[in-house]
Structures are given as structure tokens and as C-alpha cells.
């Protein structure tokens, strides 16, 4: 059977952040970054950023509607942006970063308008929805170095999503649907113990888990979101039967909450991005801060030091190079 092809065009602020969420879906044939909506032919990135061309940064998606219909594209689009911001997106300000849905036919226009109205009535956002719905015009592909930016520069891409404020905003407003609803798909890949620990605040048996005595160098990431959490450089044997660390890689990626379950008063540790239950932190550690992060192996995935670049965590390789120099 011949593959069907249709076009969808969305402006969602910096186009670096608008490719990956669509690229990962079934039925998506191509995602191209570019410029549209303005009056200048074949604009350059610098011209568009000067806000003198009328163009917006956008992505044009070639998709098979039988596999991934336009309605699902709209739903995924809303989950990547702040639709209430009329002046740009997150750290990027100006006309070229304003959001818009560019429809290619009357059916797309009607679906976009219905989707926008549904979002406005959902109560997810307090402020009015400011995203424009406009007829699609000429689309000018961006320079090659902008295409598939998340693949070419995974570390910079991650830092930009977080540093611009986009990552935190999406997590705050969509919760379990962060990253375009992909959390549900990742949860389906967990085994019974991983799900019990991360989603139901369970605890795995001591001394009968994957990492309690694991000594290889590398980092430990959230089993659900992949967010870096702990390093082997801060791991120690607490003789408790669970992986123990003196500190997280980045305290901003950890949330601590009061836990009064099981007749005890403890401090629970959760991951910020995926809201996974990780374990607890106790004031009896050996490090300068005197803390012991007692973490369930089932909440973690280990990335060996030598695989950091390959797995997209190259920015953390420097942790180990610094140790080697010492």
C-alpha cells in the first residue's frame, strides 16, 4: 500500500526544540526547520532573528495521516509550547519566536480552531491562548546547521531546553505528559519492580538489587526520563543493601518531600522531571554535607563512563576527566 503524505507547519519558538518531539513519532516521514509567515524571500537566520522579515521560526512536518493523524499532531504541538505567550517563547523574545499553526487546507483550519478552543476550555492555562492560526504560505528551509540540531549537538540541545525554561514549563503544565506524552510509553517498558518503586513509592529488597554493590565508573539516570541524577564518584558503601550517594549530580533535578508513611518520619527523594520515587535521604553520610542518599536500583539506569558520549551524556564525561587529573 502506498504511503500517504501530508504537510503540517507549526511555529513554536526556537525550532531546535520543535523537531525531536515529532521526529520520534510513528508515521512521521520528515521534520524540517525553517522560516515562514513573512514577506522576505529566502531569508537567513540572522535576518529572521532581526524581526524585520515577518517570518517565524517553524517546523514543517511531512506525515502519514493514516499512521499519525493531524489531530494527534495538534495535541503534541500544544504540549511543546507556552500557548499563552504572545511575545515569543521562554527565553526567546520577538516576532520570530511567536507561536502559530499554519494550516494547509480547510480541514486543518477547522481542526486547529477546535483544538485551540478545547485547550482554552481545559483549564490547563489561566491566561488566554495567544497562538495564531494562519494560512500556510511559502516555507523556506533553514540553514543546514539548524537541521536535526538535537542529533548533531545533543548536549547543547539538552542544556538549551532546560536553560531556556521550556523543559520546566512543560513539566509543570503537563505533568505526566511531559515530552509530548512520551512518559506513558516509557512506563510501559518498565518491569514490575521498576514500576512499583517509581510510580507507587515502593522499596526493593536490600542486597537483592542491581546496583547496591556496583563499582563501575559512570552516572546513574532516571529510569523513566533519562535525567542524570547521581555519579559513581559520589557513591559509597553504606552497608544498607541499596545504592548510596553523598550528593546528586545537580540538586535542581531532585525534589525532597516529607514522608510519614509506615509510622516513620523521613525525607523522600523524587526526580524533578519524571516525578519518580527514588528513595530517601538521611543525615548520616560520610561526605562534607553529612548526607546519605539511599536510592532504589529499580529507579535508576547506569551509563558507563566510556558510553557517555554515545548515549548523549557527553557533558558529564568531564567529571571523570577531572578526577583522573587529580
Residue 73 and residue 12 in contact, taking contact as beta carbons nearer than 8 Å: no
Catalytic annotation, residues: 14, 294
Cα three-residue angle 223-229-235, rounded to 5 degrees: 110
| Rounded CA Rg of the chain | 22
Distance, CA of 322 to CA of 326 (rounded, Å): 6
Residue 176 and residue 275 in contact, taking contact as beta carbons nearer than 8 Å: yes
Q: Tell me which H or E stretch contains 103.
A: strand 100-103
Residue 6 φ then ψ, to 5°:
-135, 165
- Hey, what's the cell of 56? 517565524
**Strand-pair partners of 134:** 102
Give DSSP secondary structure letters for 236-305. E--SSSS-EESS-S-GGGEEEEEE-GGG--EEEEEETTT--EEEEEES--SSTT--EEEE-GGGEEEEEG
The DSSP bridge pattern shows strands 132-135 and 100-103 to be parallel
Amino acid at each position: 500500500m502506498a504511503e500517504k503524505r501530508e504537510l503540517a507547519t507549526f511555529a513554536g519558538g526556537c525550532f531546535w526544540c520543535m523537531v525531536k518531539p515529532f521526529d520520534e513519532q510513528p508515521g512521521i516521514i520528515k521534520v524540517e526547520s525553517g522560516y515562514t509567515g513573512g514577506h522576505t524571500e529566502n531569508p537567513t537566520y540572522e535576518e529572521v532573528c532581526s524581526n524585520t522579515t515577518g517570518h517565524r521560526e517553524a517546523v514543517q512536518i511531512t506525515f502519514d495521516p493514516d499512521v499519525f493523524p493531524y489531530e494527534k499532531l495538534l495535541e503534541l504541538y500544544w504540549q511543546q509550547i507556552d500557548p499563552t505567550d504572545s511575545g515569543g517563547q521562554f527565553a526567546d523574545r520577538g516576532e520570530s519566536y511567536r507561536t502559530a499553526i499554519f494550516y494547509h487546507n480547510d480541514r486543518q483550519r477547522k481542526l486547529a480552531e477546535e483544538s485551540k478552543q478545547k485547550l482554552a476550555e481545559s483549564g490547563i492555562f489561566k491566561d488566554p491562548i495567544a497562538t495564531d492560526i494562519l494560512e500556510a504560505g511559502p516555507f523556506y528551509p533553514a540553514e543546514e546547521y539548524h537541521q536535526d540540531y538535537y542529533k548533531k549537538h545533543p548536549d547543547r540541545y539538552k542544556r538549551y531546553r532546560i536553560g531556556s525554561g521550556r523543559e520546566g514549563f512543560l513539566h509543570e503544565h503537563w505533568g505526566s505528559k511531559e515530552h509530548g506524552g512520551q512518559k506513558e510509553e516509557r512506563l510501559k517498558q518498565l518491569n514490575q519492580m521498576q514500576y512499583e518503586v517509581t510510580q507507587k513509592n515502593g522499596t526493593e529488597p536490600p542486597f537483592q538489587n542491581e546496583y547496591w554493590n556496583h563499582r563501575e565508573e559512570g552516572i546513574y539516570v532516571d529510569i523513566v526520563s533519562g535525567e542524570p541524577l547521581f555519579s559513581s564518584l559520589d557513591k559509597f558503601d553504606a552497608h544498607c543493601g541499596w545504592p548510596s550517594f553523598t550528593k546528586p549530580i545537580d540538586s535542581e533535578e531532585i525534589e525532597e518531600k516529607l514522608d510519614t508513611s509506615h509510622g516513620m518520619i523521613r525525607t523522600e527523594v523524587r526526580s524533578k522531571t519524571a516525578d519518580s520515587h527514588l528513595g530517601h535521604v538521611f543525615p548520616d553520610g560520610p561526605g562534607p554535607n553529612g548526607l546519605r542518599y539511599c536510592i532504589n536500583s529499580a529507579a535508576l539506569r547506569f551509563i558507563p563512563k566510556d558510553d557517555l558520549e554515545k548515549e548523549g551524556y557527553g557533558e558529564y564525561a568531564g567529571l571523570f576527566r577531572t578526577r583522573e587529573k587529580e
